[in-house]
Structure 1
Amino acid sequence: MKRRSPSVHDDDSRLFREAIGDVRPMVAAEVVPERPRPAPVPAMRDADEAAVAADSMLFDYDPADLEVGEELSYLRDGYPPKLLKQLKRGQFSIQADVDLHQMNAAAAQLTIGEFLAECHRDGIRCVRIIHGKGLRSKAAGPVLKGLTDKLLRRRDDVVAFASARPMQGGTGAVVVLLKA
């Protein structure tokens, strides 16, 4: 039996119990704290990008087909030609770039895929890829330039690309406009 404080009289205690009625103890509910939800990760897109990287190592183009000074240019179907003209004139601000110098084709391909995926995640819309002019490629022609051209044409997130303006690298770099 519980001891009562001396200030509570038996009459007061009885009146209180009558007023309240039957009481049953509460069972404490288990409270599970809410964990913050993780940021969504486009797992399928990343897997697709990895598959494209492996597939594109099967070179179905001859790098010698591209001349050292040849300008690259591409506009995805469904977009106005004015967009490509603006890109060639340098009317878009380059927000990020990557340099492929000293890389072999496999490393460059992986770097391009990772770079564009990162830009897409960060909401970057206009980028520059520096592939070089292929001056040391000997008879094979500009390997990284051809690889860059091929990879960019295959990507759904690429709206347009064009060789950079002379002060941005000229035919040794390409400016790429990505989907928003």
Structure 2
Amino acid sequence: MQQKKPKPDALSVEERALFRDSVAGARPLEQDKIPPVVRRSKQKRAPTGTAELSAQKLFFFSDEYEAITDTSGSLSYVQQGDDPMLAGRLRRGELEPQVVLDLHGMTANEAKTQLAGLLDYCQQQQFNCACVVHGKGLGILARKVPNWLVQHPNVRAFHTAPKSWGKHGALLLLLKINQSNEQQFRELQHR
């Protein structure tokens, strides 16, 4: 075992004396104007009310419900009572999405929350077409996303996206847009 050698003094006696002379009249500063910095807690707090809001948004999505079981080919869905040609229009790319949601790398719960947020955002912004990119990967989100979308009342139709939007790794959605009461009132006046 090797013994540690003592460190040679980096400063000579003259340099130490010079330093002492230069700081001879110095005194510590008093804290009188700047408040001390308060350390923040590392724990993140959940914003109030978001748990209720996310629970309302996720109300439509059940993991137990499986309407679509085969996700190997093109997926197509049109809400009952709606125009059956909507899926074809989506397939041909006649409707261009106004917003895109990329779910790559997310867990199923994160993806479900993001999807609910997308549908809510589209409602607020009055967007009627969206693209959800779920990717191929292991196929977990590819199976879950269509089953969640079938359950939501604002989803009119969806179809596997055209090649330009991701083909089998994405879905194009057509959504119902609920008009505000003011817009409905204006339409009734113009009739």
- Which TM class, normalised by the smaller chain length? 0.5 to 0.7
2:91 paired residue number:
88
* Structure 1 segments unaligned to the other structure (5+ residues): 1-43
Q: Is the 8 A contact 2:79 2:156 kept in 1?
A: yes
| SS of match in other structure, 1:81 | coil
1:156 paired residue number:
153
**How far did 1:46 drift?**
6.7
**How far did 1:52 drift?**
3.1
TM score, norm. by length of structure 2: 0.60
1:108 paired residue number:
111
Task: Identify if the C-alpha distance between structure 1 residues 45 and 154 changes in structure 2 by more than 3 Å, giving closer, same or farther.
Answer: farther
Task: Identify if the C-alpha distance between structure 1 residues 89 and 121 changes in structure 2 by more than 3 Å, giving closer, same or farther.
Answer: same
1:70 paired residue number:
73
Could you tell me how far apart the structure 2 residues matched to 1:119 and 1:153 are? 17
Letter in 1 for 2:175: L
Letter in 1 for 2:59: A
Could you tell me how far apart the structure 2 residues matched to 1:154 and 1:45 are? 18
TM score, norm. by length of structure 1: 0.63
Runs of 4 or more above 6 Å deviation = none
**How far did 1:51 drift?**
2.7
- 1:123 lines up with 2:126 in the alignment: yes
**How far did 1:50 drift?**
3.0
Give the structure with higher Rg (CA).
1
Identity fraction in percent? 29
Letter in 2 for 1:49: K
* Structure 2 segments unaligned to the other structure (5+ residues): 1-51, 178-191
1:177 paired residue number:
174
Alpha-carbon RMSD across the aligned residues, in angstroms, is: 2.3
Q: Deviations over 1:15-37 (max 9, x none)?
A: xxxxxxxxxxxxxxxxxxxxxxx
Residue correspondences, number: 126
Task: Identify if the C-alpha distance between structure 1 residues 122 and 133 changes in structure 2 by more than 3 Å, giving closer, same or farther.
Answer: same
